[in-house]
Amino acid sequence: MTTEHAHVEEHNHPGPRQYVIIGAILAIITLIEFGVFYLSIDPALMTWIILLLSSSKFLLVVGYFMHLKFDDVRFSGLFFAPFLIMVSIAVVLMALFFNLTR
Amino acid sequence: MQYLSGIDDHRTSTGLDNRKMLMWAFLGSDVMFFGTLIGTHLIYRNRNLSGPQEEILSIPITTISTFVLLMSSLAMVLALAGIQRGNMGQFRFWTAIVCIFGSIFIGFQMFEFTEFAVHYGLTPRTNLFGSTFLVMTGFHGTHVAVGILWLWSILFASYKGKIHQGNSLQVEIAGLYWHFVDIVWIVIFGVVYLIGAYGAEGRALEEVPHAARAVGIG
């Protein structure tokens, strides 16, 4: 890749300031997860809260740090197609053999 | 050697760089690899007849190691931003931070594995929890170790002038691998540690006799 081409891609990416903000959000979500773990709540509710918080962190890293939000959509396809296959298989297997909230 | 003249140009008919496409295709396959390991661990959850299981997981310690790995991801993008702007000092500083944080994470994992083996007698041969948990987190740790070696080599190459603003894509590709290691841990921390260990102590007292009865030995 030429320097010129690299610069064109770089202009689409966020700057250090945005990266630090995303990093702070990730740290706060992790702190919330830690706090939620010590609450005495229904295990099913706890499961859904953690899944929601973990998904938020996952999407923030993939979208901003890995630049999928800004890069060509075909990179997203290369990653999320197998990801969806994996999630589908995992959900079916868990529905058959396992209760996550037990 | 005329045919090698265009070898530095990695753009393809798709308009995308083939090295970056290869890395994303690899990450897609690695997603399925880790999906298998995590899925196997979940399916065999609470099916141990003996030995320790999720009640031995230390959430405070793992929260700290998770935080360290998340911050290493932040350092990685700051290193990339540095080299893309031609600031080699910033790139080298943040790359070194990534390697140090990654090593700290590995240290936490070694501490955890040692703690499990010495205090609880948990090895991959102890029970289903030991097999699936240690294989899953062990493979993740191996990925982290490979990432650290990769980034150290990039850092050293930058001092020899082989990594510079013009080929910053090499740093971006190594960064993609590093962030992938981070997102795998985000899933393991949430699903295996937090959800798995929630209420595990009380459950452990109920599950073992129940499982023993289920196979006719209790």
In three-state secondary structure terms, B13 is: coil
Q: How far is B68 from chain A (nearest CA, A)?
A: 9
The confidence score (pLDDT) of residue B14 equals 81
Report residue B181 CA to chain centroid gap: 4
- Quickly state the pLDDT bin for B5 (edges 50, 70, 90): very low
Q: B148: closest CA among B99, B87, B218, B113?
A: B99
Give the model's confidence band at B3: pLDDT under 50 very low, under 70 low, under 90 confident, else very high.
Answer: very low
pLDDT band at residue A98 using 50, 70 and 90 as cut-offs: low
| Inter-residue contact B167 to B158 (CB < 8 Å) | no
Give the span between the Cα atoms of B165 and B92, in whole angstroms: 12
> Which of B60, B167, B183 lies closest to A58 in CB terms?
B183
A23/B29 touch (CB, cutoff 8 Å), yes or no: no
Q: Which two tokens stand for residue B113?
A: 């594995």
CB B32 to CB A53 under 8 A? no
Contact (CB<8Å) B167/A1: yes
Q: Are B26 and A75 in contact (CB under 8 A)?
A: no
CA nearest neighbour of B171 among B44, B71, B68, B86: B86
pLDDT tens per residue, range B139-152: 999 999 999 999 99
Residues 6+ apart with CB under 8 A from B169: A1, A6, B17, B19, B20
Q: What pLDDT digit, counting tens, does each position of A49-86 carry?
A: 999 999 999 999 999 999 999 999 999 999 999 999 99
Q: Name the residue ranges covered by the structural domains of chain B.
A: 53-208
3-state secondary structure of B154: helix
How many CB atoms within 10 Å of residue A86?
19
pTM of the predicted model as reported, rounded to 2 decimal places? 0.88
CA distance A52 to chain B (A): 10
How far apart (Å, rounded) are the C-alpha atoms in residues B71 and B73? 5
Looking at chain A, the whole-number percentage of residues with pLDDT higher than 70 is: 84
- Whether B10 shows a pLDDT value over 80: the answer reads no
**Distance between CA B77 and CA A62 in Å, rounded?**
12
Contact A65, B76 (CB under 8 A): yes
pLDDT, mean of residues A18-44: 94
Question: For residue B106, how many C-alpha atoms fall within 13 Å in the half-sphere facing its CB?
Answer: 17
Read off the tokens for A95.
Answer: 């529905």
Contact yes or no for B44/A99 (Cβ under 8 A)? no
- Per the CB < 8 A criterion, the answer to whether B53 and B193 are in contact is no
pLDDT of residue B4: 47
Please name every residue paired with B11 in a beta bridge, in sequence order, or none if there are none: B17
The answer to whether the CB of B56 falls within 8 A of the CB of B196 is no
Output the pLDDT for position A59. 96
B217, pLDDT greater than 60: no
Rounded Cα distance between B127 and B121, Å, is 10
**Res. B164: pLDDT tops 70:** yes
Backbone phi, then psi, for B87, in 5-degree steps? -95, 90
Distance, CA of B117 to CA of B101 (rounded, Å):
24
Among B46, B59, B70, the strongest candidate for a mutation testing the A interface, having the largest count of A CBs within 10 A, is B70
Nearest to B56 by CA among B109, B107, B120: B120
Give the mutation candidate from B22, B168, B194 for the A interface (greatest A CB count, under 10 A). B194
Of the partner residues A50, A62, A90, the one whose CB lies closest to the CB of residue B190: A50
Whole-number pLDDT of residue B8: 56
Q: Tokens 């202009």, residue? A: A11
Write out pLDDT tens, residues B19-44. Answer: 999 999 999 999 999 999 999 998 88
Q: For residue B195, give the nearest of A20, A47, A93 by CB distance.
A: A47
Q: Rounded to whole angstroms, what are the CA distances from B158 to B91, B93, B144, B167?
A: 9, 12, 21, 11
Question: Which residue among B176, B186, B195 places its CB closest to the CB of A58?
Answer: B186
Q: Are A22 and A60 within 8 A, CB to CB?
A: yes
Q: Which of A66, A70, A73 to mutate to test the interface with B (most CBs of B within 10 A)?
A: A66
CB contact under 8 A, A78 and B25: yes
Q: Is the pLDDT of residue B177 over 70?
A: yes
Report yes or no: B27 at the A interface, CB cutoff 8 Å.
yes
Query: Is the predicted pLDDT of residue B66 greater than 50, yes or no?
Result: yes
CB contact, 8 Å: B41 with chain A? no
Residue of A nearest to B196 (CA): A100
Measure the CA–CA gap between B173 and B130, rounded to whole angstroms.
34
Q: Which CATH class is domain B53-208?
A: mainly alpha
Per-residue tokens: A3: 């320097």
